[in-house]
Structure 1
């Protein structure tokens, strides 16, 4: 079974991306969780650790400053925020924690129904009352209703996730930003899944954050926060600057950002759209499974609802153990306000081949009971 994935060509971009990395031990279709780092990223991270051992951590950190500055510059390019203050974090949750802890105003916040469960926990911990933005039946923001909703009961903040952890549906972030600007409401954008995957440049956010390990293919344990000048308080900026940092991981992330920009931002985005469509075609006819995104949804994330009575977590485990295929199990805790049953997520990067997708389809059919 290979669906209709045979039309996914193995392009020069895909070949370069693959050749830059250690060979995969199987089929990796889990980039929305953690992409594969390149050899250059791995070596840059290790080289910094060696340099720390040779000259001391603080001297090595000073020597790494140009690489880190280049990483911040790449973030500004990808976010379309040329004047942004950019800081490295330990990940997306850390960035949101920084933002909400620093917020000086009323603690009311609006977000999508499918908000990420850990984000909801951070909001609750900081005492925010959470309201829900209006949606279309598809789960996409209702752009025709958002203006009236914000005018009727305006929140102090809007937190907007451009691409969810549990869904490949791309949200209309620019329409959201326009509505926020019209009502004078600051906008925080969660780009954990969107950064380096879809076009998030120039949305018009007051703050945008992401992690390193997903579509930028950097190390785990590092992320980034970009804010308009002055959005964070001086006290918070000072605290962040004195926080203990894993500079080696920041170096690796900066190298990964440079690789992404060098590969061509628009070319990578276009390839990921092709990959998403090919994945959905390949998996559309696997017995009993339902692809939840439209074929032409402009993302590389495919969400699969299992047949009745089939345990998606067990399927994911069998794919790894029996076929060396890495995908993601989606428990309902990822989006507790929207998900009513678990699912499986398949998220290849630009280097996936038609043969890989055919192998995933065949393996999924084989491990599905019934």
Structure 2
């Protein structure tokens, strides 16, 4: 069966060039990149190539790139560092990825932070007026905000939030995992200046690279506290032996991602074709976040009668891969916190996410719609 993969926000298929680069590294760069002998230096070159490629993508000096195991670790590193020396206030929202919301809850339970949850509109964006109010409250240390929502694709007002927070000298951490390589990130690549403190997270596997490697984009004047204790890798911020094989793939993916926004812009027509087809099949369905600016490749649909996880399972049997929420929350019975925050639990349970990619074709969209039509027809017949 020819399968249709419409779950690019969960992970992306690796580029053939990424696989080739990793194969070459696996054969020739198996040494420890912290070793100073020839084999170690050879492995280290792959690590530094990845750092340089990510720095170029992020528009920053390579010295300000901390390599991590992925976006989750990068998010944890930023948030926990903000409260490593003293308690304070963390400003964020229920729209965020679990690697932000769960850390916020943990910091509050540990007595290290007070969490100020921002108001969220039905549109799927944070309320900037509420952010302004929150920034005026006691001892705000950090604002955590996505660039692109992982479930709806809604583009968050990161540039405006950075400007508002910077005016008060507050650190902003941007979860940019779903943004790099997909949309123009100029708004989250601010020039360094007085009062501007911005960190950003990214993950290789979201931009056609390997899993198990990502980065925190930081600045020299931002103090980071290690999550783990050990060796002096990554200037002691992230101890542990780095994988030169994953780094080889990361370098290729980061270079490819620089031209990604132009490729993804063309995906919008396919996303619109899919949405129009879904409305024909289910006239009562509604697109979550449709009234806001969205990344061009994502649609999250609340169906009129279907339960999201049931539709995911039915379409999987038809050869179509979608999701009913964040892959990091898969296997739980909890409805999407994102759609719940925007609307309610009932709508969250009826919602499913379709995320396209630069390799998605018109034929794939038509095949998916045909499969959905078959699933709906069988349900109607019963």
Normalised TM-score (structure 2) = 0.79
Structure 1 segment 1-370 matched on structure 2, within 5 A: 25-52=2-29, 58=35, 60=39, 62-82=41-61, 85-103=64-82, 104-126=85-107, 127=110, 128-153=113-138, 155-203=140-188, 204=190, 206-214=198-206, 216-233=207-224, 238-240=235-237, 242-261=239-258, 264-287=259-282, 288-294=284-290, 297-299=293-295, 300-308=297-305, 310-322=306-318, 324-330=319-325, 332-333=335-336, 335=338, 338=341, 340=345, 341-342=348-349, 343-368=351-376, 369-370=379-380
Unmatched tracts of structure 2, length 5 or more: 191-196, 228-233, 326-333
- In structure 2, relative to structure 1, the CA distance for the partners of 1:111 and 1:219 (3 Å cut) is same
- In structure 2, relative to structure 1, the CA distance for the partners of 1:61 and 1:279 (3 Å cut) is farther
Deviation at 1:333?
A: 5.0
1:5 maps to which residue? none
Query: The residue matched to 1:184 in structure 2 has which SS?
Result: coil
Spell out, residue by residue over 1:250-298, the C-alpha distance to the aligned partner (whole angstroms, 9 max, x if none).
211111112233xx24413422444433433333322253322327833
2:230 maps to which residue? none
Contact 1:290 1:306 in 2 (8 A): yes
Query: The residue matched to 2:136 in structure 1 has which SS?
Result: helix
Spell out, residue by residue over 1:37-62, the C-alpha distance to the aligned partner (whole angstroms, 9 max, x if none).
11111121122222245x67755552
Contact 1:277 1:296 in 2 (8 A): no
CA distance in 1, matches of 2:50, 2:267: 22
Unmatched tracts of structure 1, length 5 or more: 1-23
CA distance in 2, matches of 1:255, 1:141: 34
Query: The residue matched to 2:145 in structure 1 has which SS?
Result: strand
How many residues of Structure 1 are paired with residues of Structure 2 in the alignment?
A: 341
Deviation at 1:367?
A: 1.7
Please, which moves more after superposition, 65-74 or 43-52?
A: 65-74
Calculate the aligned-residue CA RMSD, in Å: 2.8
Deviation at 1:174?
A: 0.1
Spell out, residue by residue over 1:149-203, the C-alpha distance to the aligned partner (whole angstroms, 9 max, x if none).
4224562210011222222211111000000011111000011211211222352
- In structure 2, relative to structure 1, the CA distance for the partners of 1:291 and 1:139 (3 Å cut) is closer
CA distance in 1, matches of 2:373, 2:101: 35
Contact 2:308 2:324 in 1 (8 A): yes
- Structure with bigger RCO (C-alpha 8 Å, 6+ apart): 1
Deviation at 1:129?
A: 2.2
CA distance in 1, matches of 2:187, 2:61: 9
CA distance in 1, matches of 2:337, 2:64: 30
Contact 1:157 1:185 in 2 (8 A): yes
CA distance in 1, matches of 2:159, 2:279: 31
Contact 1:67 1:255 in 2 (8 A): no
CA distance in 1, matches of 2:132, 2:104: 23
- In structure 2, relative to structure 1, the CA distance for the partners of 1:234 and 1:130 (3 Å cut) is closer
